[in-house]
């Protein structure tokens, strides 16, 4: 089963793309709630390149690595990657003044579809806020 989330970012595609693919930016926006943060991020943005983000609860109680391999990269348009047995597609749909970022990913079995959708949507909302505030 696939789940899709999206957000509208009021910024030019160059800024949106950069914020989505730059480790220093990723550490600023990659969290689903205020009690989590991303402490480390690496990006090798090319087909076959790998990425990793270390996500942790701010109280230090729990954390995990979200990592995978890029399978397709079309600058300013599309990023596809695999993570474990799952895959994800990130589309960047731009017009003159804004970019719709749509993320479609394979659902997992441990959490409900609603929890997964809400979590990924919250991260995407943080991304839009970060770009519009800091770029």
Domains and CATH numbers, the chain: 2-134 (3.30.530.20)
How high is the pLDDT of residue 30?
97
Which residues are 86's β-sheet partners? 83
How high is the pLDDT of residue 8?
98
Here the tokens at position 128 are 């839009």
Averaged pLDDT in 10-residue chunks for the chain of 135 residues: 98 97 98 95 98 97 96 98 97 95 97 96 97 89
The four Cα atoms 117, 119, 121, 127 give a dihedral, to 10 degrees, of -160
User: Contact 78/64 with Cβ under 8 angstroms?
Assistant: no
How high is the pLDDT of residue 96?
84
Gyration radius (Cα) of the chain, Å: 14
């Amino acid at each position: 089963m696939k789940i899709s989330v999206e957000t509208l970012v009021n910024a030019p595609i160059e800024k949106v793309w950069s914020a989505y693919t730059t480790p220093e930016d990723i550490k600023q926006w990659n969290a689903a709630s205020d009690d989590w943060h991303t402490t480390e991020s690496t990006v090798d943005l090319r087909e076959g390149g790998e990425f990793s983000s270390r996500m942790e609860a701010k109280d230090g109680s729990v954390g995990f690595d979200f990592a995978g391999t890029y399978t397709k990269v079309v600058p300013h348009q599309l990023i596809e990657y695999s993570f474990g047995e799952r895959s994800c597609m990130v589309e960047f749909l731009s017009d003159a003044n804004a970019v719709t970022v749509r993320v479609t990913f394979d659902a997992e079995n441990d959490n409900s579809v609603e929890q997964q959708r809400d979590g990924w949507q919250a991260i995407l909302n943080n991304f839009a806020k970060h770009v519009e505030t800091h770029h």
